[in-house]
Structure 1
Amino acid sequence: MHSRDQYMKPAKRHLSVDRLWKDDTKKTTQRLTFIEHLSNELFYEIFDYLDGRDLLYAFSNLNLHFESLIMSSKFRLKFHHCTSHLELFEQDYQQIIVLNKHRIISLHLWTPSQLLTSVVLHPVNSSFSRLESLILHGIKFKQAISFLPGLTSLPGLSSLNIYLNDALSNSNAIYHLLFRLSNLKCSKLSARRYFSQDFIPNTSNQQTTSIKQLIIDHPCNLHGLYDILSFTPKIRRLKCENLFPTYENISKEIPLNIFNLKYCSISLCYLKFDEFEIFIKKISSQLRVLCFNPCSDISYLGADRWQRLITKHMPLLYTFQFKYHDAVVGYFEIQPYHLFINRFTSPFWIERQWLFNIEIDFNHWSPFEIIFSIQSNR
């Protein structure tokens, strides 16, 4: 016969397991009611979205747990939104930025007063040992010339954007300083005005940079662009806002060792098609994306010429974006080049899903404007 205890023991064990599970669940629930019990990895993931100034003000002296998290030497800081008030910024710079300079990986200075403070109080130099990205907004040309040499001591600086608050009076000087930053991978130079000046080409190829992405956000002539590219053999992405012709003969034999360029964008191209064709042949062997807006040369509407150029010199081109504005003054008349527009609808263009579009803008300052464009539909 089976005793009563034999039937009770499994039930007791079941009740015991249930009780332990409930107790453990209760403890777990109690633990999770405290935010500090979340993993450090999760906190660091959250902190990565916060500006360093806001982060330090919010969590410093909150409790020992958060203090240890944000003060860890492994935790890297980003300062993107510094106050525009000069007195407060000087205080922040001394008490936050300078004290944590060895942990800062990204620093954005937005006003001339902030830049002046950073130069006077504590320059950005080798003490910012982990700095990877630097943006200088509103800096004057002479300040930039004084500021850039100190950046050569930053071993990890890979991204530098400069927005000049005045004219780029000597592009030669500033680009040569940029090219001395041996680990720079991405750079942008922006200026409101530009004084044309001869650039010194890199004839010996001794000083080359590791720049892979370059944005030229100021007027640039073709000769200057050739010379800049002679220093950047590793470039992969090039964007030029305004490209002007050079009023002198440029030898077709100018060498450019550009073999990695995959993306090229020219927002406004004032070159004649003949000049552009010579240029693009030198850089286009690996080109995948070409975006540009030509001006003042109706030859750009020659579909067959484009087809020959792309087939022979841009075999890997995948995305082609093009826009040409043709102002109509007085009465509209059919021109000879209009008769060949339909060549942009040949199988060559259809197979690549490069769609030709014609738009008429009656709000233009002349009677109206015809906009011819090509867009990639893939």
Structure 2
Amino acid sequence: MLLRQCFGINDSNNDHEDENTLNCNVYHLARRLRRTKPNISIFEFLPNELILNLFEYLYCDDIIYAFNNLNYRFQLLLYTYEYYHLNFDQIIMKSKFNLIENLPLNIQHVKSLTLSNNVYSSTNIEQCLLKYPIELFYIRLQSLSFIPRDTDQLLYLILLLPNFQQLKYLLISQKLCTNPSDNIIKQIRDIILFEIKTLKYFTWDNESSFFTRMNEAMPIEKSTIEYYEFRRMNIDEFEWLNFHTINMKSIHIYAAFFYSYSYQQQQAFETLTCMKIDEFREPMNFQNLFKFLSFLTLLKQLEIKGLYCEENMYTDGHRWENFIQEYLPQLKIFKFFFTRWDRHINIEVVIASFMTNFWLIEKKWFVTCDHKVNEGILYIYTVPYMKNKLKYLTSCQRISTAKINDTSNIRQLILHEIKTKDIILKDHFTNLQSLEIWKISDDITYDQLNRFLNISSIKNIVFRSRINSNLFYDILKYNTTQISIEIGYNNLIEMLRRATSHNRRQIIVELKKIKQLGIDFWCVKELTEKQIRKICYLFSNIEQLIIKRAFKSNELISLLIRKLKHLSFLSINYSKFAASTETNNSDIRQWLIDQSRTKLNENNFICKWSEEQFDLWID
């Protein structure tokens, strides 16, 4: 609906088709729709190429929701578009799930599929595959991502992978209570590496090692995958993977265990051009790191984050310059973030080593030093800042070779114990999506913070401690996006209590505009009916509500459903199992219907129930 409004598109009553029309082919659909006079909008003057480019940025359900049954032109585009991204991990609304169930969609046009057991989604992998059997995707699917429930579901999906004829991208993400056995991991690895000949991109986002029993692989077995990502990897596994891959171009390791590096095999890395390491889980000797990198002579991109060191060689620009010139002559992109402990460090000397012609003119690589003098910690990193999450440093001395400390990559910012003097006006976070506030000085104004953060465009704000009521009000008032907030109940009530009567009324007006809320009762033993009614009063127009802890009475669920007229999603995280004589897993739906006083019926909601959590989606 939002897309329709933005581009001046109106629903056309003449263009609504019955269910049989959804199954007709494009030729008959075009003939039928040409007999009607379509509504013309500004959006319709755009060429098809631009509209199809827009589709690339949307998930399948968003496209159908925005453009289905508008007129014959858009209907034809929906039927002929061949690059749909069907993502069941993002759906939290029952209406979205219903929409996907009734999509006017040729399944052969789905090129990307994400299956998930996300607790905040109204569906799961099993339900998705009942609606869309996996064999329907064998012929043309190119990208598959899944987050299985358990080892059995993981293995079930893995065994089906060789049936996909065009699969190029595979992502497996999993958080299991028990890790798969070594035999199962080997079976999974052999299928992924050696039986899917079309696969080029593979991500294993899993705490379980992917390389158990790796010495049992046949030397002649080679993988065609070119781009890898792994949650964890040691040096022996890296060498093994290189040996068993024909053309490994890129590898991204989230946690590297390279401490015991010896490099006995001295094999060549003849194809690797990109390497990214997010974190070294063990201290890495500088000489060992250089020895390891010296064999990656074709690297064009190198990124190293999360390296903690006591050696000054890591922060010596001259050593890096000499090494790169000798061993990595093709390196075009070099990004790093190092943390060094040294109470006697001279940051003027450190930064001077990165101010040679090699760094500033030839490579155009710029470096910033943030020095926490009292703690003896130096953060040294390339600019632009390479991480997407930052805990803002207070009371630090900064020096840089860059004119502007580029923070455009940062999406999530944490402010902790910030005072006015800590705000460096040269920093400006222009692309933030999420802000987390822990203890911020009462004298900081909205204007000061906004010049620093551009708060008006932030989508999610988390308040971890008490905040000045005037600042809180201004944040809500001047935000131009549909903001989602998370706040502790006691902090909220304390802030309202301290506010003046006028300010309190202003804040309550803004709270009623909030559509998405997470509220935490971390220091409340048990929620009362009075507290629930208070939430319903303050956030009367809330659509999505997540309550954490302190929820013990099921009766309060029905109160929330009745009071919050616009509620479409409710998630309750129990501090302790809410035992109830009125409900159990078999009759929870009927109990909810009875207690909701006509708001719920058999067809307009989905619910999930466990000892730890209750989730409800309302159409």
Same fold per superposition (TM over 0.5): yes
Q: Choose the corresponding residue for 2:190, options 176, 185, 191.
A: 176
Q: CA RMSD in A?
A: 4.0
1:224 pairs with 2:230:
no
Name the aligned partner's letter for residue 254 of structure 2.
E
Q: Please give the residue correspondences for 1:232-311 in structure 2 after superposition, counting only pairs within 5 Å.
A: 232-245=245-258, 247=260, 250-256=262-268, 258-269=269-280, 270=282, 271-282=284-295, 284-293=296-305, 294-296=307-309, 298=311, 299-301=313-315, 303=317, 305-311=319-325
The verdict on how the C-alpha distance between 1:88 and 1:164 changes in structure 2, with shifts beyond 3 A counting, is same
Cα distance in structure 1, aligned partners of 2:162 and 2:287: 40
The verdict on how the C-alpha distance between 1:195 and 1:107 changes in structure 2, with shifts beyond 3 A counting, is closer
Deviation of residue 375 (structure 1)? 4.7
Deviation of residue 203 (structure 1)? 6.6
Unmatched segments (≥5 aa) in structure 1:
1-30
Question: After superposition, what is the alpha-carbon deviation per residue over 1:321-359, rounded to whole angstroms, capped at 9, x for unaligned?
Answer: 22321235xxx3469x99888544455444433344432
Cα distance in structure 1, aligned partners of 2:128 and 2:172: 15
Cα distance in structure 2, aligned partners of 1:55 and 1:125: 24
Cα distance in structure 2, aligned partners of 1:68 and 1:87: 24
Deviation of residue 189 (structure 1)? 1.8
Structure ID, larger Rg? 1
Name the aligned partner's letter for residue 320 of structure 1.
F
Asked if the contact 1:76/1:104 (under 8 Å) is kept, the reply is yes
Residue aligning to 1:115: 125
SS at match of 1:291: strand
Deviation of residue 92 (structure 1)? 6.2
Deviation of residue 105 (structure 1)? 0.8
Residue aligning to 2:440: none
Name the aligned partner's letter for residue 117 of structure 2.
T
Deviation of residue 292 (structure 1)? 0.5
Asked if the contact 2:107/2:136 (under 8 Å) is kept, the reply is no
Residue aligning to 2:201: 186
1:320 pairs with 2:330:
no
Q: Choose the corresponding residue for 2:142, options 121, 132, 139.
A: 132
The verdict on how the C-alpha distance between 1:229 and 1:84 changes in structure 2, with shifts beyond 3 A counting, is farther
Deviation of residue 211 (structure 1)? 2.1
Asked if the contact 2:204/2:210 (under 8 Å) is kept, the reply is no
Question: After superposition, what is the alpha-carbon deviation per residue over 1:184-208, rounded to whole angstroms, capped at 9, x for unaligned?
Answer: 12222213x3469645158755332
Deviation of residue 103 (structure 1)? 2.1
SS at match of 1:226: helix
Cα distance in structure 1, aligned partners of 2:126 and 2:245: 31
SS at match of 1:353: coil
Deviation of residue 175 (structure 1)? 3.3
Q: Choose the corresponding residue for 1:105, options 108, 111, 126.
A: 111
Asked if the contact 2:351/2:367 (under 8 Å) is kept, the reply is no
Name the aligned partner's letter for residue 105 of structure 1.
K
Name the aligned partner's letter for residue 252 of structure 1.
Q
Q: Please give the residue correspondences for 1:199-214 in structure 2 after superposition, counting only pairs within 5 Å.
A: 199-201=213-215, 204-214=218-228
Question: After superposition, what is the alpha-carbon deviation per residue over 1:245-293, rounded to whole angstroms, capped at 9, x for unaligned?
Answer: 365x75422424x3232221111124323332333233x2221121103
Name the aligned partner's letter for residue 239 of structure 2.
Y
Asked if the contact 2:209/2:233 (under 8 Å) is kept, the reply is no
The verdict on how the C-alpha distance between 1:200 and 1:123 changes in structure 2, with shifts beyond 3 A counting, is farther
Q: Choose the corresponding residue for 2:364, options 353, 360, 364.
A: 353
Cα distance in structure 2, aligned partners of 1:66 and 1:374: 46
Unmatched segments (≥5 aa) in structure 2:
1-36, 385-401, 404-619
Asked if the contact 1:326/1:370 (under 8 Å) is kept, the reply is yes
Question: After superposition, what is the alpha-carbon deviation per residue over 1:187-238, rounded to whole angstroms, capped at 9, x for unaligned?
Answer: 22213x346964515875533223222222x222222222223333322222
Higher relative contact order (CA 8 A, sep 6+): 1
Q: Percent identity?
A: 18
Cα distance in structure 1, aligned partners of 2:382 and 2:211: 34
The verdict on how the C-alpha distance between 1:123 and 1:250 changes in structure 2, with shifts beyond 3 A counting, is farther
Residue aligning to 1:18: none
Cα distance in structure 2, aligned partners of 1:242 and 1:119: 33
SS at match of 1:306: helix
Name the aligned partner's letter for residue 165 of structure 2.
P
Deviation of residue 142 (structure 1)? 4.0
Name the aligned partner's letter for residue 225 of structure 1.
F
Q: Please give the residue correspondences for 1:329-340 in structure 2 after superposition, counting only pairs within 5 Å.
A: 332-333=343-344
Name the aligned partner's letter for residue 211 of structure 1.
I
The verdict on how the C-alpha distance between 1:86 and 1:342 changes in structure 2, with shifts beyond 3 A counting, is same
SS at match of 2:278: strand
The verdict on how the C-alpha distance between 1:126 and 1:69 changes in structure 2, with shifts beyond 3 A counting, is closer
Q: Choose the corresponding residue for 2:159, options 123, 145, 149.
A: 149
Higher helix share: 1
The verdict on how the C-alpha distance between 1:333 and 1:277 changes in structure 2, with shifts beyond 3 A counting, is closer
SS at match of 1:175: helix
Question: After superposition, what is the alpha-carbon deviation per residue over 1:22-50, rounded to whole angstroms, capped at 9, x for unaligned?
Answer: xxxxxxxxx99646986766655555554
